[in-house]
Amino acid sequence: MDRSAADELLTGNPLVPCIEGAVAYARELERTLLDAEIPALLAKPPSKACCGSGGGCGCGAKVQVMVREADLPRVAELFRDEWMQAVEREGTIEGMKLVPMKVDGAVLDPAADPPCPACGTAAPLVEGACSDCGLQLDN
């Protein structure tokens, strides 16, 4: 996918950052996403971020790679596949496969609500808190 096609697909859609990093790394990732037919663009991080805001933190300029929220699962799959290919190239693990995450022996659905870190309840939050024990998990 070229830049103009990506811009056309992204115009008018709400975008979310999929990663923030140094400019060179972000540009490389943007090219990788475009090659995988995932529209992406680079954007300046919010001004409250330390880098680029003149805060003097010394960690260098950063940019965000922005994608449509609906494309995040494809981005995650691309990251996972590239990581697996790197592991296989290194030859450090033979025949490695990703296995489903389990809690108390039950396979977790990646689309389901994650379990509460305090009580283990996997249910939607109620006003940002666990519906079982009340632990505040979202501001």
pLDDT tens, 106-127? 666 666 777 788 888 888 889 8
Residues 67 and 8 in one domain: yes
Residues 107 and 41 in one domain: no
End-to-end CA distance of the chain: give it in Å, rounded: 38
Residues 58 and 111 in one domain: no
Q: Name the 3-class secondary structure at 71.
A: helix
The pLDDT score that the predictor gives to residue 103 is 60
Residues 127 and 81 in one domain: no
Residue 109 lies inside a defined structural domain of this protein: yes
Q: Name the 3-class secondary structure at 18.
A: strand
Residues 86 and 108 in one domain: no
Kindly report the pTM of this predicted structure.
0.59
Residues 22 and 51 in one domain: yes
Residue 95 lies inside a defined structural domain of this protein: no
Residues 105 and 51 in one domain: no
Domain count, the chain: 2
Give the C-alpha separation, 31 to 42, whole Å.
11
What average pLDDT does the segment 34-63 reach?
A: 76
Residue type for position 119: C
Residues 38 and 78 in one domain: yes
The token pair at 49 is 């971020």
The pLDDT score that the predictor gives to residue 86 is 84
Residues 85 and 42 in one domain: yes
Q: Scanning the structure block, which residue is given the tokens 């922005």?
A: 66
The pLDDT score that the predictor gives to residue 33 is 95
The pLDDT score that the predictor gives to residue 61 is 82
Kindly give the residue spans of alpha helices, DSSP state H, lying in the chain.
Answer: 3-10, 23-35, 72-90
Residue type for position 118: A
Q: Which helix (H) or strand (E) holds 61?
A: none
What average pLDDT does the segment 79-94 reach?
A: 80
Quote the domain boundaries for residue 111: 100-139
Residue 33 lies inside a defined structural domain of this protein: yes
Give the C-alpha separation, 102 to 82, whole Å.
23
pLDDT at 2 > cutoff 80:
yes
Residues 80 and 33 in one domain: yes
Residues 114 and 73 in one domain: no
What average pLDDT does the segment 56-70 reach?
A: 83
